[in-house]
Each structure stands twice: as C-alpha cells, then as structure tokens.
Amino acid sequence: MIERGGPHGVERPAAIPPQVPCDLPLPGAEPSAQLGAGHVRTRGRQKPVPSSWTMSSAAARPGPIGDVDLSDADAAVRWYTTALGAAQLWDLGGVAGLDLGGAPFFVHEAVPGKNQEPSPTAVGLTTTRIEVFIDAPDDLIERAAQAGATDVEPVSEHDAPWGPHRQGGFTDPFGHRWSVGDRTPLQRFPGSSSPSAC
C-alpha cells in the first residue's frame, strides 16, 4: 500500500515500522527478539545506532539544515553516500536525511506540479550553493570528480579577513553547486563583530 501526499508530498510505503530504541521492549516480542544495546529496529532489521542520533550531536543543536531538491532522491542518496561518503540517517522514499562529516542535510525529490521547489536540472540552473568545511577539501573534491561531478574547481588558496582559506568546488549530477573548503571560516577572527544579545 502506498501513501500519497505524505508530509512532504511524496509517495511512500504506508506502513514503515517506526524506529524503536533498543531499551524499549517490542510489543509481544520474545526476549530473544529484543535488540541489544546500541541498536534500533528499522523495517525489521537490527542496525547500530549512529553516533549522529545522540543528543550531543547536531540533532540537539538548533540551526538551519539544508534541503536540496532534485529529480531522483534514490539516485541522489546513492551518489552522496558513495561519492562523498555521506551517512544515511533515514529514508522515507522521496525524502532522506543524510550526514556529511557531522553536518546533516536532506534530499527531497521534486514533486510534480509543485513549481516553487523544482530540481535544478528541471530549470537548468541553481541559485543555491552548498558550502562544506572539512580538514581535507582536496580529498572530497577528488572523490566527487571520480564519481562524475562536473565543473570541478581544484582547491586553491584565497586571501580572507582571517588569513588564508583553501577552497574549491564541483557541481553534482543533480545540478547543485558545492564549495568545499578548509575549516578556517568557522572560527571567529579578530575584528569580527559579535551578535548583540537581545
């Protein structure tokens, strides 16, 4: 059975069993069917609990999470996990949560007729750039290039107010532009203004 127009306007199986933390007993389950510590039950399988599911992770911090619209969510999940090494947090079929080095983001299959959220390939351009800050930007750009990314820009050094910043980029197969740089922009630098308290 398929649920149509779920919370994100996509088709998905109507009965996806919930993920149950290992310390909660499954109704009617024999003790031998219970899960061990550090596991959840997902669609009838045991899986280790990713460290990204703990309350000390990004899930506990308020903040924006990017949601990239694209034409094929399943293909995107495969490419982002294989090419970039992203971890899959969950997949509802058409909408999935991924994590790239501790930075969660969602992929969302474009819904036909919903013209406010088209995929970049459908309109022939993108107005969004995804910024990733990691220790080895060269390695991620190389992985992406080997997996079919286009418009690859090798890492180069740029002068920034905080000092040198190494950054390059690529366009993924779904039309999104990625800028990949070192972590230097994530730190305060002398002379920057602090947000005032309200």
Query: Taking residues 148-174, what's their average pLDDT?
Result: 94
Instruction: Choose between 53 and 86: higher pLDDT.
Output: 86
How does residue 114 score in pLDDT terms, banded at 50, 70 and 90? confident
The dihedral through the CA atoms of 189, 190, 191, 194 has a sign that is positive
- How far apart, in whole angstroms, are the C-alpha atoms of residue 111 and residue 131? 25
Instruction: Choose between 45 and 178: higher pLDDT.
Output: 178
Q: pLDDT over 70 for what percent of the chain? A: 64
For the chain, give the mean pLDDT: 74
How does residue 84 score in pLDDT terms, banded at 50, 70 and 90? very high
Dihedrals phi, psi of 108, to nearest 5 degrees? -135, 120
pTM, full prediction: 0.61
Query: Taking residues 151-165, what's their average pLDDT?
Result: 92
Q: Is 120 exposed, middle or buried (0-12, 13-18, 19+ CB in 10 A)?
A: buried
State which amino acid sits at residue 114.
Answer: K
Residue 151 pLDDT > 50: yes
Helix 137-146 / helix 73-83 crossing angle, nearest 10 deg: 130
Domain ranges of the chain: 17-25+35-55
> What pLDDT, on the 0 to 100 scale, is given for residue 41?
37
DSSP 51: G
Partner residues linked to 70 by β-bridges: 109
How does residue 155 score in pLDDT terms, banded at 50, 70 and 90? very high
Enter the tokens of residue 131: 């910024």
pLDDT digit string, tens, across residues 9-62:
444 333 333 333 333 333 444 444 443 434 433 444 444 544 444 434 544 555
Residue 176 pLDDT > 90: yes
- How far apart, in whole angstroms, are the C-alpha atoms of residue 77 and residue 184? 28
